[in-house]
Amino acid sequence: MKKLRIGVVGLGGIAQKAWLPVLAAASDWTLQGAWSPTRAKALPICESWRIPYADSLSSLAASCDAVFVHSSTASHFDVVSTLLNAGVHVCVDKPLAENLRDAERLVELAARKKLTLMVGFNRRFAPLYGELKTQLATAASLRMDKHRSNSVGPHDLYFTLLDDYLHVVDTALWLSGGKASLDGGTLLTNDAGEMLFAEHHFSAGPLQITTCMHRRAGSQRETVQAVTDGALIDITDMREWREERGQGVVNKPIPGWQSTLEQRGLSAVRGTSLNVCKIRQFRKPPANRQFGRNVSLTRSGAMR
């Protein structure tokens, strides 16, 4: 089987810290090039990573089988639709689009083109969260907190909900199985309309789910706590597992060889998306999978 040809759109901070180290470690794929609308900023980054710079989005698409999109949320609809119309598989940073209708249009386009369209929610691939998901059959309560030390503004509430709080809601609902109802919640902003605090409550059968974020909590801590029939499990920052089962506390250390990118699920996102793209590119299945709506986006009004 020939190697998959990969491209990158967007070379900002997240792409440089989280994605280029993963994608540049080419083994059974080739990194064909990168494109960013700001050529002057993109060229030094491409040179440091030894990645060819594409003159345009269309020229990048013409040389690739799949493209990872890390550009601004506002650009997602135009960039992703251009790539799909060019016959290219896409893995894009969350959120898929700025609003629900544009997200649905992209999913429909990918289905018509029989192409892979994947949103890179890396926490779904974090090893400790994956292990926790297998322990929740008897869970009564699930709570996820993801706080910021001091990150109020400069963007408005809507931007922060989609840019950061979305991780919390998506991860909690994914852990619970995805079939949850929104029972209520709170959104607090300052006078400028910038998010200060968010907390929401969901239910999935007997399971009660809480998501929480404060933008000026004095801490960057991320925690997930599950209360089950016989166990209390706490995960901190995707790397510390603490478990109580009536006979003391058990702390599970992470493997010494496991990198931060692996702990946070980024390596697995890459591997999963590339494997799916290979299957589609070289075996051409008959149709795309349907994507379900996230209850958090539709019922909370976070996407309209």
Q: Write down the pLDDT at residue 266.
A: 67
CA 131/CA 117 separation, integer angstroms: 26
- DSSP labels, 88-140: -EEEEPSPSSSSHHHHHHHHHHHHHHT--EEE--GGGG-HHHHHHHTT-TTEE
pTM value is: 0.83
pLDDT for residue 264:
76
Residue 162 has pLDDT above 60, yes or no: yes
Structure confidence by residue, pLDDT tens digits, 267-276:
666 566 556 5
Q: Is residue 92 scored above 80 in pLDDT? A: yes
* pLDDT the model gives residue 299: 36
When the pLDDT of each residue in the chain is averaged and rounded to a whole number, the result is 87
Rounded CA-CA distance 197/190 in Å is 10
Residue 120 has pLDDT above 90, yes or no: no
pLDDT digits (tens, 9 = 90+) for 179-209: 899 999 999 999 999 999 999 999 999 999 9
Decide: 144 and 223 in contact? Cβ < 8 Å.
yes
Per residue in 214-245, is it b (16+ CB within 10 Å) or e — as a string? Answer: bbebeeeebbbbbebeeeebbbeebbebebee
Domains along the chain with CATH numbers: 4-121+265-292 (3.40.50.720), 127-254 (3.30.360.10)
pLDDT tens for 55-84 read 999 999 999 999 999 999 999 999 999 999
Query: What local confidence, expressed as pLDDT, does residue 294 receive?
Result: 41
Residues 29-41: what's their mean pLDDT? Answer: 91
> What's the pLDDT at 141?
98
Type of residue found at 3: K
State mean pLDDT over 169-174.
Answer: 96
pLDDT in tens, 290-301: 433 443 333 333
Q: What's the confidence (pLDDT) of residue 261?
A: 72
Q: Higher confidence at residue 239 or residue 295?
A: 239
Q: Which of 89-103, 213-227, 254-268 has the lowest mean pLDDT?
A: 254-268
Q: What is the pLDDT of residues 216-231, one digit of tens each?
A: 999 999 999 999 999 9
Q: For 3-12, what is each residue's pLDDT tens digit?
A: 889 999 999 8
Q: Which whole number is the average pLDDT over 118-144?
A: 94
